[in-house]
Every structure is written in C-alpha cells, then in structure tokens.
Structure 1
C-alpha cells in the first residue's frame, strides 16, 4: 500500500505532465491563429485573381475611318480604282486597288502607277489610308498633288498647308492633326522611287 509520502513524491511528476500538455495546446492554438485564409480554402485562388480582364473594344478617332465599306466607296471618287474585299492577310486587315497606270511604259519596261491601300489591326475599322506612287522612271511626281487633293475631299478632311507643294517636289512632309497624322515617305532604289502619302487615325 502506497503511503502519503509516496503520493507526495508523485505530485511533481503529475504537475510536470499537465504543464507539458498545456504548453502543447497553447502553441497549437497560436499556430492556428497565424494561418492564412489560403490554409482553410477561404481565399480565391491566385490564378483566378491574376486572370487578365479582356480589353475594351478599340476604335479610331476619325469617324470616316470607322465604317470600312463606306470609306471604300468614298475613295473610289479619287479615280484610282475600286478597292477590293476587306480581308485578313496574316498580319492585319487590308484592302487595295489594282495598279492605276500613269502614262506609257518607260525604259524600265514598267508603267508608273498609283494605288490606294487601307490597313488596320482590326476588322472593324480602318487605321491607315495610303496613296502610293510607283515611279519607275524617275519622272517626278506631278500627278500626286491632284490625286491627294481628291483623296482629302473624298474623306472630308482639309488639305494640310504645305502638303501639295511637298508632293510636287517629292519631299518628306509631316502634319499632326487633332485626331490623325499626315506624312509622306520617299524610298529610292534601283527600280526607281516609291512615294507614299499616308493618313493615320489616332
């Protein structure tokens, strides 16, 4: 039979065991308090939160460039030809006229010609209109001012000051309007000159 002295000897060990158990539950409780919502499945997955939002549909600021078919019809008044079907060519949306020959075939064996190009990154609108002159025999650019003037009339925009004079001389030109940019680019190579009038909507 255990004596009272034996019982008193066990008390420290019982107290020690109870203390260890208490410390275990206290530490576990603190760990639960530091767990994030992710540990309990309460927060949305990160992948869902970072999923990109689809951008709003873009457009252009020049109203006449917003209707592709109507613009094609207007540009036929320039007298270069009829614009073909609006189509995707693997790099963007485009349409163009056939080459409009200017004068007889020269020494290069090719006739100088004009063409109009429409280009865009979207099916829904036109971003850029180009009037392109292929000048194979370096005969100058007398036809460009008249065609450029008719182009601006067709789309309802004023001709920028200095543009027609620059076109006559085959010079570079740049103009920045409220909603569009007008520029010319001249490229010379062994086959002659390529001169472009470019109207780009913002």
Structure 2
C-alpha cells in the first residue's frame, strides 16, 4: 500500500476536493469510482467531487439514508479509509519523468486488482441475524480511486489513494458501517497483490 510495503491505512478526512482531487483537471481525470455498490448505483467514470463528499459524509449512494450514530444530540460519522498504493521509485521515474504511459496503465490495473481482492475477501460489516451480531465478509463498497504523481516532497511518486467510504451494502441490500479489522490484518497481502 506504500512503497515500503507496510501499508498506509488512515481515515479519509472528507475533503476530497482539496486533498484527493486538489481542484486540478489532471487529478480529476485520473480519478475513478470503484466497487460493486458504486457500479450498482451508476457511479462510473471520473469521481464527482460533490457526490463523493456527500458519500464520505455518510449519505448512501441512493440518497435514502445518512449513516452515523447520534451521540449527545450530534451525528457522528467516520468518513472512510484511505488505502494508498505506491509504485516503486524506479517505476515512478520511468512512468512520470520518461513518460511511459504503459506503466501508468499497469499501475492503475494493479490497484484495481488489489481493490477487487479487498472487496471480495477483506471488506466486512456487522449485521444482526436472529438477535445476534454477526460479521459478514464480502459486502459491496463505494470507493474513489485518486491517482497522484508526486510525493509530499514534490519528487516523482506514482501512487493511488483508494478511499473506501464507511458504508458497506450488505447481503440484505442495506448499508451498514465498514468493519475494517480484516483489511488491517491483511495489509501485507493486499500490498503484495
């Protein structure tokens, strides 16, 4: 998930227009929706910043529900999880400095392959069945993929933020919170994919 293979997992802060897209045309064009729930709600192509911000704020893709819990009269909601996938420095230089578009395409395909594994094997949510809470694996997610080309130090660094919204469409077709323990436990495997 990062170049050292340790996996950079952190909560998304909900400011997708300033952090992930940064208002630039190139960043917007390098974004993409991901996930079975995204597909099921016609979220395809480039990420719509306003729509994604609402989803990170807890609004379900169908707009019928706002997730979160009420505590002391205030709604609390965690926006999501940012999995960052980084190419090695040599790949970044070949792709970005020398302009090898094949490497950028390969990076994008690798991120989608890894995210497919995450959605199928490691995305979990909790559902109540027969009066008991059970953990369900393999729910449908909504995520935004945001490819960037520089590090914080502004050197070439091909990487993609895969921001998974804190909502999973479960087997009953309802949206419930993302249970991320399996993602954290398996970040090394995810990084290798």
TM-score, normalised by the number of residues in structure 1: 0.26
Higher RCO by CA contacts (8 Å cutoff, separation 6 or greater): 2
Higher strand proportion: 2
- Return the index of the structure with the highest Cα Rg: 1
TM-score, normalised by the number of residues in structure 2: 0.27
